[in-house]
Structure 1
Amino acid sequence: MIKHLGFILCLLSFSFLKDKQGFVQQTSCKGYYDKELHLFVYTDVDEMPEFPGGIAKFYRFISNVPLKGADKESLQSVVFPTFVIDASGHVKNVGIYQKEAKDYTQLDRNMIKLLQACPKWKPAQCNNKKVAMSYRTRVTLCYTN
């Protein structure tokens, strides 16, 4: 009986230590390991990354994309940039969603170049820890005469 009681107390103290040391992590954050960047990139986080000044300033920033190479006949072009905001807030791995580099238009390349020069973001957070996050957005550029 005393052996069983000692065993149970050991288990309880070990599970208490596990929780205190952070081995048991309950989180709703999800992601994947990016082999190119050599880091875990989250797709679902507790707190989203934030552009300095907010999302409206981000869209104002990317509206500065040079329109050279855009389809001005349609009066509108849509670009789907995708990138990673790392744990320090830098923009990395910029591309265009579901396009290979060989298929990029001049407008796509202009958007990528602009995003590579993007100022630092406030990084995403998961369990109060700064983390890298994958970010994708839709940009519609409208032309006026």
Structure 2
Amino acid sequence: MKNLYLTLLSILFFGFAVHAQESKPLGKINAHIILDGKLLPIDTDTLKHFKEDDIDYATVIKDTEHKAIFGVNDEQMLLIVITKANKNKPENVALREKLSKINFAGTPKMAINPTLKKPSKDSIASGTFDFVSIEKQPQFPGGIKAFYQYLGENIKYPKEAQKNKIFGRVFLSFIVEKNGELSNIKLIRGVSSDIDAEAIRVVSGSPKWSPGIQFGVPVRVKYNINVNFNLN
């Protein structure tokens, strides 16, 4: 696994394989990263806290179709990493199952442990799943296009921001609860105080979503979204 992971890192950085004689800390990686079932912000340096021997599984996904399955829709590569310490958590069990169903044509096979058992419905953690690892993602009535239509019809552009020609995208995260309600709405990256507040207001007033499903039961799911404020 050590040499495999080094190969993956070298593909990201150089395009060819390199080898090391000792376990070294991992640095900042210019790619989308899913670490233990959670999508990290791009250019994160979270992996610097890990060494290669901490990694149970890793793979790089480049093609658009497969990246979209995990919520990545741009040109950046996607690195998926599962650590040994968390490999049996429900999020990672779900992530491995998702990966096992993908036909990685032309990509070296990665060691997905076939002996892992699904947790029983009664033993599923009461915590929160990330949307990239969920079996069935939560959904706004009518789908994501309908959600953006809802935003467009309900956003009231702040007058002061409009006057000063302030625009941009507000990035938010929230939890889709088991009953479909949205909670814990947080600002990830904002534009201005009044625009940020308006984005939070509109998302807070969203109709109920269909909840996320994992192992056949509704679960809490963390979801990321951006709200675009455009003067045009």
Query: TM range, normalised to the smaller chain?
Result: 0.5 to 0.7
Does 2:94 align with 1:28? yes
Q: Which residue of 2 aligns with 1:40?
A: 127
Counterpart of 2:218, as a letter, is K
Q: Which residue of 2 aligns with 1:66?
A: 156
Task: Spell out, residue by residue over 1:73-115, the C-alpha distance to the aligned partner (whole angstroms, 9 max, x if none).
Answer: 557311102110001100001121157xxx9611111111111
- Equivalent residue for 2:216, pick from 107, 118, 128: 128
- Equivalent residue for 1:105, pick from 179, 182, 193: 193
Structure with the largest fraction of strand: 1
Q: Which residue of 1 aligns with 2:141?
A: 52
Q: Distance in 2 between matches of 1:57 and 1:75?
A: 26
**Contact 1:29/1:126 (8 A) holds in 2:** no
Identity of aligned residues (%): 23
What TM-score, normalized by structure 2, do the two folds share? 0.42
Q: Which residue of 1 aligns with 2:21?
A: none
RMSD, matched Cα: 2.6
SS of 1:27 mapped into structure 2: helix
**Contact 2:172/2:189 (8 A) holds in 1:** no
Could you tell me which runs of 5 or more consecutive residues in structure 1 were left unpaired when the two chains were aligned.
1-24, 31-38
Higher RCO structure (Cα 8 Å, ≥6 apart): 1
Alpha-carbon distance, 1:27 to partner = 3.1
Q: Distance in 2 between matches of 1:141 and 1:72?
A: 13
Q: Which moved further from structure 2: 90-99 or 57-66? A: 90-99
Q: Distance in 2 between matches of 1:58 and 1:113?
A: 14
Alpha-carbon distance, 1:55 to partner = 0.7
SS of 2:222 mapped into structure 1: strand
What TM-score, normalized by structure 1, do the two folds share? 0.65
SS of 1:115 mapped into structure 2: helix
Which portions of structure 1, spanning 4 or more consecutive aligned residues, are displaced by more than 2 angstroms? 69-76
Counterpart of 2:128, as a letter, is V
Which structure's CA Rg is the greater one? 1
Q: Distance in 1 between matches of 2:169 and 2:127?
A: 29
Task: Spell out, residue by residue over 1:30-64, the C-alpha distance to the aligned partner (whole angstroms, 9 max, x if none).
Answer: 9xxxxxxxx51100201111101111110011122
Q: Distance in 2 between matches of 1:132 and 1:105?
A: 28
**Contact 2:141/2:210 (8 A) holds in 1:** yes
Could you tell me which runs of 5 or more consecutive residues in structure 2 were left unpaired when the two chains were aligned.
1-89, 97-125
